[in-house]
Structure 1
Amino acid sequence: MEQKKHNDRTSNRFLTFYLEEEVYGVHISDVKEIIAMMKTTPVPKTPKFIQGVMNLRGNIIPVVDMRLKFDMPSIPAHMYTAIVIIKLGEKQIGFIVDKVEEVINVEEEHLSIPPEFGSHIDTRFIKNMAQYKQKVVMILDLLALFGEEELTMVQNLSKTASEA
């Protein structure tokens, strides 16, 4: 079933969002929902990019500030700030973004691999570059965005918080 999903019409559909002036995208099949910014509970001894955890309808979900994850300055939440709930395996993670844009459908010929910037710039978390209208959208590889150790830690936050 999962294989079919990536071969039909949904294969090149992405939810796009902004961080500063940059447009990023995630595969629509990885998105569970989009919610307005809500209060999070900080978790001690976690990396700075982890905002904390939130209780969403009884589920404890770790929340990542994507600005901090990408070494951008943090800004206070505003009217357009949103949390995109992403499914990674059996777990869910909330990504705080500046503004959710739209769901786009990108034809295969408008997707390309990211350019090489040399060994000092890490672009492993960018799966593709999509040309859409007059913009370039960086399609994120969610598993590569977090190292295995980080991903395990973030996913374990929901267990720890729900057991507390």
Structure 2
Amino acid sequence: MDPGQRWRTGAGACRMIPAAALDDYLDELLVLAPADEHKPIEQAPLPVAPTPAPPRLAPMPPRTPVQPAPIPIPRIAAAPAASLEPEEPVSSHSHRRAADRSSRWLRLRCANQAYGLELLKVQEVVLATPLLPLRGTPPAMLGVMNLRGQVVPVMDLGVHLGQAAQPGTGATRIVVLEEKGETLGLRVSAVEDVVNLTDHQIEPPDSNRAGRIHSDLFRGIARQSAEPVILLDASQLLVPTGAAAH
């Protein structure tokens, strides 16, 4: 059947073709239709705009290290060299200070002669006490005494200095010396007082006087009053203590 003859048109009217004829017409369309008509329509990919490349940055110039500004250092003027010759005011001041230095001395007596012992070396002064004699000792060594449990050798100071032995009286005392662990008791006729002596009050040893006593025991003479006081070196008196004790 001619497909162009299925629909008949007349003057202002339309006539439908029978149903059997319409089915045949549809079957022909299916047979004649190309196979590509039944494939899904593939959509063309949308055009993608190209991504612009990032702008290229110009290379930075190399950094020049910043040198710190130098700190100005003040120049210190050198001190003038000290003069080798002392000035007059300093010298007089030094002499004045030497004259002001003083020391304390214990004034005691052996028979009629006054003596002095530096107070720093005196441990204490005690009453005369019975002594235990020692054999084979010098005449001046009287013996040993018990001083609160300590054995202390006792020497007659007057006899040691060349005087005659003096009898004991109520004023007799024993002066205990101590230095560097060594102790020694000195029997004297009396203990008078403590005096302060400056350096200019102590005269150098007298050769005539030193000839009558041991020169190494003689520190000088203090003429603080009309009667001169012979100053003795306590350290020298303590020297023979160890030999006497052993």
Q: TM-score range by the shorter chain?
A: 0.7 to 0.9
Match of 1:80 in 2: 171
Secondary structure of the residue aligned to 1:124 is helix
CA drift at 1:20: 1.3
Q: Higher RCO, 1 or 2 (CA under 8 Å, sep at least 6)? A: 1
CA drift at 1:133: 2.2
1:74–1:10 distance in 2 versus 1, CA, 3 Å: farther
Q: 2:120 aligns with which of 29, 46, 50?
A: 29
CA drift at 1:17: 0.4
**Structure 2: gaps spanning 5 or more residues:** 1-97
Q: Is the 8 A contact 2:153 2:241 kept in 1?
A: no
Q: 1:41 aligns with which of 123, 129, 132?
A: 132
Match of 1:16 in 2: 107
TM-score normalised by length of structure 1: 0.80
Q: 2:144 aligns with which of 53, 59, 73?
A: 53
Percentage of identical aligned residues? 24
Match of 1:152 in 2: 242
CA RMSD of the aligned region, Å? Answer: 2.3
Alignment of 1:134 onto 2:201: no
Match of 1:4 in 2: none
- Partners of 1:90 and 1:27 lie apart in 2 by 17
1:112–1:120 distance in 2 versus 1, CA, 3 Å: closer
Q: Is the 8 A contact 2:145 2:154 kept in 1?
A: yes
Secondary structure of the residue aligned to 1:15 is strand
Alignment of 1:113 onto 2:204: yes
Alignment of 1:125 onto 2:214: no
Equivalent pairs counted in the alignment come to: 147
Q: Is the 8 A contact 1:15 1:27 kept in 2?
A: yes
Bigger proportion of residues as strand: 1
1:107–1:118 distance in 2 versus 1, CA, 3 Å: closer
Of residues 103-112 and 49-58 in structure 1, the stretch that sits farther from structure 2 once superposed is 103-112
Secondary structure of the residue aligned to 2:236 is helix
Amino acid of the residue matched to residue 121 of structure 2?
D
Secondary structure of the residue aligned to 2:145 is strand
Q: Is the 8 A contact 1:124 1:145 kept in 2?
A: no
Q: Is the 8 A contact 2:175 2:187 kept in 1?
A: yes
Amino acid of the residue matched to residue 115 of structure 2?
Y
Look at both structures and tell me which one has the larger radius of gyration over its CA atoms.
2
1:44–1:135 distance in 2 versus 1, CA, 3 Å: same
CA drift at 1:22: 0.8
Match of 1:143 in 2: 235
CA drift at 1:60: 0.3
**Structure 1: gaps spanning 5 or more residues:** 1-6
Match of 1:98 in 2: 189
Q: 2:158 aligns with which of 67, 71, 82?
A: 67
Query: Deviation string for 1:83-138 (max 9, x for gaps)?
Result: 00001321110000000010000122111111223995443311121112222111
Query: Deviation string for 1:40-94 (max 9, x for gaps)?
Result: 1001111111000000100000000112111211122101000000013211100
